[in-house]
Amino acid sequence: MHAVITAGGTVDGELAAAMRTRVKALASLRERTLIDVALAACDGAGIDDVLVVGGAEVRAHLSGRSNVRIVEADADGRVNVLRALDGWPGDRFVYLSSDLPFVSADGLRTFVTRSAEFAVTMALADVTAYVRRFPGAPAHAVSLRGERFVNGSAFVIGPEAVAPARELATKLFAARKNLARLALLLGPALCVRFAARRLGLSDLERYGTRRLGVRVAAIRGCDPGLCYDVDTLDDYAYARAHAGGA
């Protein structure tokens, strides 16, 4: 099994000041950076080789790691998604973002194992487990047809899924933080179901399977550490306060 970690994201303003860097992946977390946490999880999960999509600062930080290959990041996040998808031609791989301060080897290994029968999977955490793991954390929960969950920033992608996923992936990247925009990508029927609050995860799984022509699944009940990502100053402050204890 291989992995891809996207580490090209930059921040500004108060968040950059708090992180002391504009490169989110290089934000400090106790004695490590966010990208170090992701790489440690991969190592512990038995993932042999890792491709990192990152810029010059990330390349310098990771120099000397023999099992890490760097691909230059672009300013456009959609381009970086495509570079990540093309990183391991013909092989199955895990796709991680670099802003997961609580990702663990056990959580990642279990997610990979549970994904084995599918071509594309996405990690989801139950809200109850997420709140228990991260009490007082900024809210990240999503609700679809009465089912509440937290989206993960971890995916498993099989080689048969890469070609059909390329066009859809860039659109999903642009809309990833907005449920309404995501619904618009799904076509009139599912958009109507979303507006009527009748859209469920099973509808999205069927859509993905039909659209890509491969088996797509949301893996429920994953480790919450796969689902806590750092997008805001509050996210980062919580992660710094709780790193090592969550």
Given a cut of 90, whether residue 240 has pLDDT beyond it is yes
CA atoms within a 13 Å half-sphere pointing along the CA-CB vector of 190: 19
Given a cut of 90, whether residue 18 has pLDDT beyond it is yes
Average pLDDT score, the chain: 90
Residue 53 phi/psi, 5-degree rounding, is -95, 105
0.85 exceeded by pTM: yes
Q: Given this model, what pLDDT does residue 177 score?
A: 58
| Residue 236 vs residues 32, 104, 118, 124, 229: alpha-carbon distances, Å | 14, 18, 33, 21, 9
Q: Given this model, what pLDDT does residue 172 score?
A: 67
| Domain limits for position 69 | 2-242
More confident residue, 181 or 89: 89
Relative to beta strand 2-7, strand 93-97 is parallel
Calculate mean pLDDT across residues 47-55.
95
pLDDT band of 168, cuts 50, 70, 90: confident
Quote the number of domains for the chain.
1
* CA pair distance 8, 97, nearest whole angstrom: 10
Calculate mean pLDDT across residues 14-20.
97
Q: Given this model, what pLDDT does residue 11 score?
A: 96
Given a cut of 70, whether residue 16 has pLDDT beyond it is yes
Q: Given this model, what pLDDT does residue 183 score?
A: 62
pLDDT band of 191, cuts 50, 70, 90: low
Specify the CATH number for the domain of residue 194: 3.90.550.10
Contact at 8 Å (CB) between 2 and 94?
A: yes
* CA pair distance 25, 19, nearest whole angstrom: 10
Q: Given this model, what pLDDT does residue 185 score?
A: 66
Calculate mean pLDDT across residues 6-26.
96
pLDDT band of 174, cuts 50, 70, 90: low
Calculate mean pLDDT across residues 48-58.
96
| Residue 77 vs residues 84, 86, 153: alpha-carbon distances, Å | 10, 14, 15
